[in-house]
Structure 1
């Protein structure tokens, strides 16, 4: 199902991790100074990250999930049928990525969390990676677009549309 991301966009993945109750994992960004990720009042997001050279989007999704949450006990529910992209505001793009990318193109995956909540460790995740989040919670999928930085909200609305069948009603 995975095609190529659109030209000019940084290829990334996004992860909707659902618990058994149909709620989705959200992390609160640890570094509030990264303006490409956080704005006041919009610190929450689902795990996401770049695709390394030679990696498939699915491999990147599994790796990023472990690096950001320590979670490995998952089963794949679905892959979004298309790349979802957003443009960075010009001033942020120049600062964040030195103008290299217009924005990000994300391939989204929905996973079911099969483990115990004690497996989730955002402060010292696997592989010695720096913590991306300083807090986490379960939330309704349909409320996530209002919690993410505004220029990413359209992507989150599409994620809600694609994965609503796995969400709590």
Structure 2
């Protein structure tokens, strides 16, 4: 029998999340690669999420968001729309504690940014991001309504996605729908 680490003794991992909106006010979501990923077991629900990633020590969160967005999607053509007003946290489920996030964290403390995608869709490449310089994290992608994203995420991240969607709820209305 393996013993789980003490959740309260583990810190949160500082991370960024990116909500990338197209000209119709829809948001980018990617289907996560599932193999060897304790956060993404099939029993926990759909493998969709928005791009996200860690903030390097001393790195500015906005710079981290732009870097991670490029590393996961090849996207560089964006303009900043908004930043969520507070850090949004989620905790790993008990069965992933000590395994996911290299076993060093209890969950993530995320700083969310909303961007307008200003490039052509041909810029988006999740299978060979950064021209193949980065390992792919998604197997597919699509545009989705922001309000639907909490229902598409793994259940333990749902509350964080609800907070993110509430923070950016006015953004889809800024775009012409058509």
Corresponding residue to 1:92 among 96, 101, 106: 96
Segments of 5+ residues of structure 2 without an aligned counterpart are 1-9
Question: Radius of gyration: which is bigger?
Answer: 2
Contact 1:39 1:149 in 2 (8 A): no
Calculate the aligned-residue CA RMSD, in Å.
Answer: 1.7
1:166 counterpart residue number: 171
Residues paired across the two proteins, number: 163
Q: 1:38 to 1:46 in 2, by over 3 A?
A: farther
Which of 60, 63, 75 in structure 1 is aligned with 2:67?
Answer: 63
Aligned equivalent of 2:81, options 65, 77, 81: 77
Partner SS for 2:99: helix
Gaps of 5+ in 1: 1-6
Task: Tell me the TM-score normalized by structure 2.
Answer: 0.86
Structure 1 residues 28-56: Cα deviation after superposition (integer angstroms, max 9, x where no partner) = 01234412145444110000000012211
Whole-angstrom distance in 1 between the partners of 2:13 and 2:157: 14
Partners of 1:56 and 1:156 in 2: CA distance: 22
1:18 partnered with 2:10: no
TM-score when scaled to structure 1? 0.90
